Amino acid sequence: MDNKNNPWKKDFPILDQKVNDEDLIYLDNAATTQKPQTVINDITDFYTHDNANVHRGVHTLAERSTEQFEQAREKIQHFINAEHSDEIIYTKGTTDSLNIIARSYGEENIEEGDEIVISYLEHHSNLVPWQQLAIKKHATLKYIELDNDGFVDLDDAKKKITDKTKIVSIAHVSNVLGVINPVKEIAKLAHQHGAVMVVDGAQSVPHMPVDVQNLDCDFLAFSGHKMLGPTGIGVLYGKEELLNQMSPVDFGGEMINFVHLYETDWNDLPWKFEAGTPNVGGAIVLGNAVDYLNEIGMDKIFDYEKKLVDYVLPKLLDIDGLTVYGPHDPKKHTSVISFNLDNLHPHDLATGLDMEGVAVRAGHHCAQPLMKYLGVSATARASFYFYNTFDDADTLVKAIIATKEFFKNGTI
């Protein structure tokens, strides 16, 4: 199998370069994705031709930028199948979105003795806001156990989610273990007990079809830079009924209807939560990134990445001394693969791979409680996207073996 089987890699100019005299193999897509030339061009085009603040002017540039800004909102609405475009709130990213939920819905609905339920595999962005909310409100933070493959355990979820539970917040896809969690089933459990369901979609929305109405989640958070868009732009989806009940957390321009001397009327959705000058270019370009993804098709992207995992995971498992975390069955594993090599620190392994031109992540991946749960301090992580090739997968395997031999021979 070779690069000819992948028609998309050529669209990404950053991948056409050498690192340490080797062809770049970029496998850090769970951290951020690269941008196709069309998206790069769109950034330049906006600032060259249309740059203006939105909603605040009647001149031509303001009207053009506003139209594109709101068109992008509608693109994102349809991308995740939200019922209304005003359920799409522009934010800085997943972290910002989750914090808004905690600071608004959480502050207004959590009381002493209430429960907030998350799992051991959560990214810090989906842990610390709930931890701090629980501390502030004297609520109880509970963790759902993981099963042997690393999935959130549904049986334990049934025990942990009770009538005292007010918020359940779970990652759709783990950024470490590469599992797709049963968030639809967990949402049903949460609703049976009167709780709301929050989904961290940072690692799912870019890689697979996500339908918020089918999942019946109350909130969904995701980031633009993990799905070909710019950094600094993200999305908070919330059911209209809940968002209307919530108070804004940032105050200033745009989010007001009328300011009196001693009180203020809030603007309608979605602008109530979008204080100040937004990332206009970022939002518009994220909408164009959605166009690019739609042109390929999210089902096609998901299927292609599954083929990559089917191909590379058995090869990784065959490397003597390599421990792979999460499911060993490729059918249960997404394109995020974390591993350690015996007697070698993950940072040393990642440095060795970089010398071979292979970019992977090493560390705790903003998931320190999960690292403790796994009994390790850190892991290396290779994360694939649809522009990666089977040759890339082969190069990863060869580079791990070469790095292993280098450190082995160096100690003799």
Write the pLDDT tens digit of every residue in 175-222: 999 999 999 999 999 999 999 999 999 999 999 999 999 999 999 999
- Residues ≥6 apart with Cβ < 8 Å to 70: 54, 85
Averaged pLDDT for residues 343-369:
96
CA–CA gap between residue 74 and residue 86 (Å, rounded) = 9
The per-residue pLDDT for range 76-92, each reduced to its tens digit, is 999 999 999 999 999 99
Of the pLDDT bands very low, low, confident and very high (cuts 50, 70, 90), residue 4 is: low
pLDDT at residue 218, as a whole number: 98
The per-residue pLDDT for range 225-265, each reduced to its tens digit, is 999 999 999 999 999 999 999 999 988 888 888 889 998 88
Averaged pLDDT for residues 287-306:
98
Pairing of strands 256-259, 264-266: antiparallel
Ramachandran class of 113: left when φ > 0, alpha when ψ lies in -120 to 50, beta otherwise: left
Report how far apart the first and last C-alpha atoms of the chain are (Å, whole number).
36
Provide the whole-model pTM.
0.96
- Cα dist. 318→177, 313, 315 in Å? 18, 9, 5
The per-residue pLDDT for range 305-324, each reduced to its tens digit, is 999 999 999 999 999 999 99
- Cα dist. 218→83, 90, 162, 253 in Å? 12, 17, 18, 27
pLDDT at residue 256, as a whole number: 80
Which listed residue (319, 366, 376, 402) is catalytic? 366
pLDDT at residue 412, as a whole number: 34
Sign for the CA dihedral angle at 292, 298, 302, 304 comes to negative
pLDDT at residue 3, as a whole number: 53
CA–CA gap between residue 331 and residue 314 (Å, rounded) = 11
Q: Which residue has the higher pLDDT, 306 or 409?
A: 306
Q: Is 217 a catalytic site residue?
A: no
Q: Using alpha carbons only, how large is the chain's radius of gyration in Å? A: 22
Q: Say if residue 14's pLDDT is above 60.
A: yes
Quick one: tokens of 14?
A: 């950053």
Q: How many CB atoms lie within 10 A of CB 43?
A: 17
Nearest 5°: phi and psi at 164? -85, -10
Share of the chain above pLDDT 70, in %: 98
Averaged pLDDT for residues 290-297:
98
Of the pLDDT bands very low, low, confident and very high (cuts 50, 70, 90), residue 411 is: very low
pLDDT at residue 410, as a whole number: 59
CA–CA gap between residue 12 and residue 34 (Å, rounded) = 7
Q: Say if residue 267's pLDDT is above 90.
A: no
Q: What is the mean pLDDT of the chain?
A: 95
Ordered by where they begin, the domains of the chain are 3-31+297-410 (3.90.1150.10), 40-295 (3.40.640.10)
pLDDT at residue 195, as a whole number: 98
Element (DSSP H or E) covering residue 199:
strand 196-200
